Chain A
Amino acid sequence: MTDTPVLSVRDLVVDFPLRRGNFRALDGVSFDIAAGEVLGVVGESGAGKSMTGAAVIGLLEPPGRITAGEVHLSGTRIDTLPPAQMQALRGKRIGMVMQDPLTSLNPLFTIGDQLVETIRQHMDLSEDQALERAISLLEEAGIPDARGRIHAYPHQFSGGMRQRVVIALAIAADPELVIADEPTSALDVSVQAQVIKVLKDLCQRRGTAVMLITHDMGVIAQIADRIMVMNAGRVVETGPVAQVIRHPREDYTIKLISSIPTIARTGEPPPPPAQDSAPAFVQVQGLVKDFDAGGGWLARVLGRAVPPFRAVNDVSFRIARGETYGLVGESGSGKSTCARMIAGLIEPTAGRVVVNGMDVWQVSAAERARRRAVQMIFQDPYASLNPRWRVGNIIAEPIRVLGLAKGSEIEDRVADLLRKVRLDPIVMRKFPHEFSGGQRQRIAIARALSSQPEFIVCDEPTSALDVSVQAQVLDLMSELQGEFGLTYLLISHNLAVIRQMANDVGVLHRGVLVESGPVDAIFDHPQADYTRMLLDAVPDLADIE
């Protein structure tokens, strides 16, 4: 080992010459990565972390280009190399892992084809030798029965398995550096931990330097040696992981780290639930939802029908007035289907939902009252507001449709709601695309509040937001709950968010509620195996010594 770092970036500047002037995406970025070291690069969206990775490997999207600074790979300058030489270097000396395993493999070629083609591009091996190497790489990446599955197509693998294939492809030619851009963001928590481990093991064994780009501080804590915090195209702070997380120096880092929710109990525990004595405000009983798995009538005639898929299986729980029930689960666990059945959007196959004595799925005279009382906040603030409507009309729609107010009173109410969610009432003349993600989610909350509901179903309300914005939105939700005595059903895949917000929690796994009870009891003493596995898998800042 020499003292020369594998990757050395000095004063890197990337510019995007746009129509209305130049946009500086990276502004004087400098850092080093030594052999065998993992550098975690964190930042919120737009911080320039992916841009840094793309600039290093020479894959900036036009019109972006490096306008100043130097990139050295093991002592040789590479940012000035002609395209042909840069291309020879990609894959061979710098490998890359991209975010979405479902789209980064070519669906029309077998994984063996793609591996062999990459190996033979960079190494002087025969077809058979390359195939052998491909199989051993897949085995190393933890693909069971690699020899048998080498001629399978990408769609025959699950997301986690595909990301292992992608990692095998990235290290196929033993590169000195691997750039991993959000390698686990598209995966579930339980799979995420395994994939991170594979990446770390493979690189450690080879002494490969890793540049790990992620927005998830927990992942960094789990795998990285050093951490680099970026914001608005600049490096804010660099240092060993424990030091930066425990003792951040810069204001931005301090704020960022304090806004990350942790799975450990912070602050005072929620008051003891009055569950058994008080009548339940929301009662969910034996909720079931089957989806027709298809095949169509012809398959049925030919006797190849697929039995219906049971997305939600006999889910029951209750929420007391003014409390928050957290429902956690991974993708495909049926939590969103649950949310929609409870709010009244998808009709259940079986079961009952009763809110304040009103059955959600029973047509009755109280229909209007029930619609007023139950509202919903959705995950994607970009899709939950009609882009062609002015904000004022969006918030006023429930008031108008349910006939809660008339004339100028409507506008007064809208102004009032906007103030409640900390927005200037003047914005009611604007359209949704003029707002940031966090602001839009506030508008969505204002709309949910406009019918003066008592119960709000929140389906992943913050998972599309950056952590600092997430913290603000969660704070707002808590304040409003106190002010209006709201009852929340909070759906999330993020255990830390649930712990901080909920009184009670239910854990959903493949449509079945495996555990339900007071949040501290379940987080501190999980009973179900699945809950225990989930809690173990979550990377958390509190784990840092």
Chain B
Amino acid sequence: MLIFIVRRLLQSVIVMLVVALIAFLIFRYVGDPIVSMAGVDTRLEDQELMRERLGLNDPFYIQFWNFLTNALHGDFGISYRLQQPAMRLILDRLPATIELAVVSATLALVLGVLMGIFTALRARSFLSGVIMTLSLVGVSLPTFLIGIGLIYIFAVELQWLPSNGRGTTVQLGWWRTGFLTESGLRSLILPAITLSLFQMTLIMRLVRAEMLEVLRSDYIRFARARGLPDRVINFRHALKNTLVPVITITGLQLGSVIAFAIVTETVFQWPGVGSLFINSVQAVDVPVMATYLMMVGLVFVTINLVVDILYYLVDPRLRVQGKGR
């Protein structure tokens, strides 16, 4: 157990270092930071002075080290476009993205797993066929088109729900939430559905495939031969074995909701980190790009670690040392 956790932690740190290196390379070598910060008109001597002061003439590893220590203190430099600390910009907009991501992830997970189980157990039923066909349509529909479609139906034609923004929000400490007002919740519905659909189809197809695989296995056949009722076989034996591989992939899928939010946020003009990122890419606002990359990297590494530990707890083959052989 100790070795397992230490190894996973080390791996996480290595991945984070790699992400930091990429972020640093982007930060340092994409465009000229001095020109971006000070403008092209600055005199060459002043540029050189700034270069020296910012440590841009130091050897590569010292610059990387400085980047790392600054990053640990939450300092990623000043946004070229908005002239504010990149970290502040991200933190300001993070609550919006997290609220959207959490709601969509929950929606995707619950519905995806339920439909996956249903379509695996009732593989030949008409409803399963319908769900499977729809899921294929779901995979083929680009997220932005789903968003546009929903806006057209519910905002333009029916005028039931707002088409953009977060509605009224309430400030709780540094966290700005949309959960506490009616308009905030109503604004959340369309983006949340849009963001969850793709993940939902993926999770559903995954659960279905894994469960069908488990249902074909010898121990399920043997459980039948032991006379266990279908209910016990399906929901005790098959489900638990299905969940082992599903945990891993689902965890990672949920992590990617945050990054997928880029498109959804653009369609619905949702004031989250995703739309900030896309604007930064368009404007080659490197500090914000680097900060965003580090943030997403951290989210993934954390999820990965949690998933690995969960996996370890669920599967006795990893947890309990073998004695027999």
B316 pairs with A87, CB closer than 8 A:
no
User: Which residue of chain A lies nearest to B227 when distances are taken between CB atoms in the complex?
Assistant: A91
Name the residue in B221, B240, B244, B315 with the highest tally of chain A Cβ atoms < 10 Å from its Cβ.
B221
Is the C-beta of A153 less than 8 angstroms from some C-beta in chain B? yes
A292-314 interface mask toward B, CB cutoff 8 Å, 1 = contact, 0 = none?
A: 00001011001010000000000
A158 pairs with B325, CB closer than 8 A:
yes
Q: Which residues of B contact A100 (CB under 8 A)?
A: 218
Q: Which of B221, B237, B315, B322 contacts A156 (CB 8 A)?
A: B322
Q: Which residues of A contact B240 (CB under 8 A)?
A: 108-109
B306-325 interface mask toward A, CB cutoff 8 Å, 1 = contact, 0 = none?
A: 00000000111100101111
Given contacts A103-B219, A107-B219, A156-B324, contact A121 B229 (CB under 8 A): yes
A139-181 interface mask toward B, CB cutoff 8 Å, 1 = contact, 0 = none?
A: 0000000000000110111100100001001101100000000
Give CA–CA (A173, B217) in the complex, Å.
Answer: 24
Is the C-beta of B158 less than 8 angstroms from some C-beta in chain A? no
Give CA–CA (A103, B220) in the complex, Å.
Answer: 10
Given contacts A106-B241, A108-B241, A156-B322, contact A121 B218 (CB under 8 A): no
Q: Which residues of B contact A155 (CB under 8 A)?
A: 316-317, 320, 322, 324
Give CA–CA (A59, B325) in the complex, Å.
Answer: 32
Distance in angstroms from A103 CB to nearest chain B CB is 4
B219 pairs with A104, CB closer than 8 A:
yes
Is the C-beta of B10 less than 8 angstroms from some C-beta in chain A? yes
Quick one: which of B272-289 are within 8 Å of A by CB? none
Is the C-beta of B51 less than 8 angstroms from some C-beta in chain A? no
Q: Which residues of B contact A157 (CB under 8 A)?
A: 324
Q: Which residues of A contact B122 (CB under 8 A)?
A: none
B205-244 interface mask toward A, CB cutoff 8 Å, 1 = contact, 0 = none?
A: 0000000000001110111111111101000110011001
Given contacts A91-B226, A121-B226, contact A298 B7 (CB under 8 A): yes
A118 pairs with B316, CB closer than 8 A:
no
Give CA–CA (A435, B295) in the complex, Å.
Answer: 58
Is the C-beta of A321 less than 8 angstroms from some C-beta in chain B? no
Q: Which residues of B contact A90 (CB under 8 A)?
A: 224-227
Is the C-beta of A448 less than 8 angstroms from some C-beta in chain B? no
Q: Which residues of A contact B225 (CB under 8 A)?
A: 57, 59, 90-91, 95-96, 98, 170
A469-489 interface mask toward B, CB cutoff 8 Å, 1 = contact, 0 = none?
A: 000000000000000000000
A81-119 interface mask toward B, CB cutoff 8 Å, 1 = contact, 0 = none?
A: 000000111111001101010011111111000000110
B222 pairs with A118, CB closer than 8 A:
no
Give CA–CA (A87, B230) in the complex, Å.
Answer: 9
A108 pairs with B226, CB closer than 8 A:
no
A161 pairs with B226, CB closer than 8 A:
no
Is the C-beta of B130 less than 8 angstroms from some C-beta in chain A? no
A347-368 interface mask toward B, CB cutoff 8 Å, 1 = contact, 0 = none?
A: 0000000000000000000000
Give CA–CA (A285, B230) in the complex, Å.
Answer: 59
Q: Which residues of A contact B172 (CB under 8 A)?
A: none
Give CA–CA (A261, B223) in the complex, Å.
Answer: 37
Is the C-beta of B40 less than 8 angstroms from some C-beta in chain A? no
B228 pairs with A161, CB closer than 8 A:
no
Distance in angstroms from B194 CB to nearest chain A CB is 36
Is the C-beta of B6 less than 8 angstroms from some C-beta in chain A? yes
Quick one: which of B286-304 are within 8 Å of A by CB? none
User: Which residue of chain A lies nearest to B241 when distances are taken between CB atoms in the complex?
Assistant: A108
User: Which residue of chain B lies nearest to A179 when distances are taken between CB atoms in the complex?
Assistant: B225
User: Which residue of chain A lies nearest to B214 when distances are taken between CB atoms in the complex?
Assistant: A106
Is the C-beta of B3 less than 8 angstroms from some C-beta in chain A? yes
B316 pairs with A153, CB closer than 8 A:
yes
Give CA–CA (A156, B323) in the complex, Å.
Answer: 5
Q: Which residues of A contact B315 (CB under 8 A)?
A: 107-108
B2-30 interface mask toward A, CB cutoff 8 Å, 1 = contact, 0 = none?
A: 11001100100000000000000000000
Q: Which residues of B contact A172 (CB under 8 A)?
A: 226
Q: Which residues of A contact B316 (CB under 8 A)?
A: 107-108, 110, 153, 155
User: Which residue of chain B lies nearest to A98 when distances are taken between CB atoms in the complex?
Assistant: B222
B244 pairs with A108, CB closer than 8 A:
yes
Give CA–CA (A304, B237) in the complex, Å.
Answer: 35
Give CA–CA (A82, B230) in the complex, Å.
Answer: 14
Give CA–CA (A366, B6) in the complex, Å.
Answer: 51
B186-215 interface mask toward A, CB cutoff 8 Å, 1 = contact, 0 = none?
A: 000000000000000000000000000000
Give CA–CA (A121, B236) in the complex, Å.
Answer: 14
User: Which residue of chain B lies nearest to A90 when distances are taken between CB atoms in the complex?
Assistant: B227
Q: Which of B7, B237, B325 contacts A109 (CB 8 A)?
A: B237
Q: Which residues of A contact B324 (CB under 8 A)?
A: 155-158, 161
User: Which residue of chain B lies nearest to A100 when distances are taken between CB atoms in the complex?
Assistant: B218
Is the C-beta of A122 less than 8 angstroms from some C-beta in chain B? yes
Q: Which of A92, A152, A161, A296 contacts B227 (CB 8 A)?
A: A92
A153 pairs with B317, CB closer than 8 A:
yes
Q: Which residues of B contact A107 (CB under 8 A)?
A: 219, 241, 315-317
Q: Which of A106, A121, A298 contacts B219 (CB 8 A)?
A: A106
Given contacts A117-B228, A118-B228, A158-B324, contact A298 B223 (CB under 8 A): no
Distance in angstroms from A487 CB to nearest chain B CB is 36
Give CA–CA (A125, B117) in the complex, Å.
Answer: 32
Give CA–CA (A109, B241) in the complex, Å.
Answer: 10
Q: Which residues of B contact A88 (CB under 8 A)?
A: 227
User: Which residue of chain A lies nearest to B4 when distances are taken between CB atoms in the complex?
Assistant: A298
Quick one: which of A236-278 are within 8 Å of B by CB? none
A87 pairs with B222, CB closer than 8 A:
no
Q: Which residues of B contact A92 (CB under 8 A)?
A: 227
Quick one: which of A42-87 are within 8 Å of B by CB? 57, 59, 87
Given contacts A90-B226, A91-B226, A304-B3, contact A59 B221 (CB under 8 A): yes
Distance in angstroms from B18 CB to nearest chain A CB is 19
Give CA–CA (A173, B226) in the complex, Å.
Answer: 9
Quick one: which of A215-243 are within 8 Å of B by CB? none
A152 pairs with B317, CB closer than 8 A:
no
Give CA–CA (A108, B229) in the complex, Å.
Answer: 19
Q: Which of A117, A152, A298, A304 contacts B10 (CB 8 A)?
A: A298
Q: Which residues of A contact B221 (CB under 8 A)?
A: 59, 98, 104
Given contacts A57-B225, A91-B226, contact A117 B219 (CB under 8 A): no
Q: Which residues of B contact A106 (CB under 8 A)?
A: 219, 223, 237, 241
Give CA–CA (A95, B10) in the complex, Å.
Answer: 50
Q: Which of B3, B222, B224, B244 contacts A166 (CB 8 A)?
A: B222
Distance in angstroms from A124 CB to nearest chain B CB is 15
Distance in angstroms from B7 CB to nearest chain A CB is 5
B227 pairs with A118, CB closer than 8 A:
yes
B3 pairs with A299, CB closer than 8 A:
yes
Give CA–CA (A73, B217) in the complex, Å.
Answer: 28
Distance in angstroms from B320 CB to nearest chain A CB is 6
Distance in angstroms from B245 CB to nearest chain A CB is 12
B322 pairs with A89, CB closer than 8 A:
no
Give CA–CA (A122, B226) in the complex, Å.
Answer: 9
Distance in angstroms from A126 CB to nearest chain B CB is 18
Q: Which residues of A contact B218 (CB under 8 A)?
A: 98, 100, 103-104
User: Would you mind naming 28 contact pairs between A and B with Cβ atoms under 8 Å apart?
Assistant: A87-B224, A87-B229, A87-B230, A90-B224, A91-B225, A91-B227, A92-B227, A98-B218, A103-B217, A103-B218, A104-B222, A106-B219, A106-B223, A107-B241, A108-B240, A108-B314, A109-B237, A109-B240, A117-B236, A121-B227, A121-B228, A152-B320, A156-B322, A156-B324, A166-B222, A298-B7, A298-B10, A304-B3
The 6 closest A-B pairs by CB, nearest first: A91-B227, A96-B225, A90-B227, A103-B218, A158-B324, A104-B222
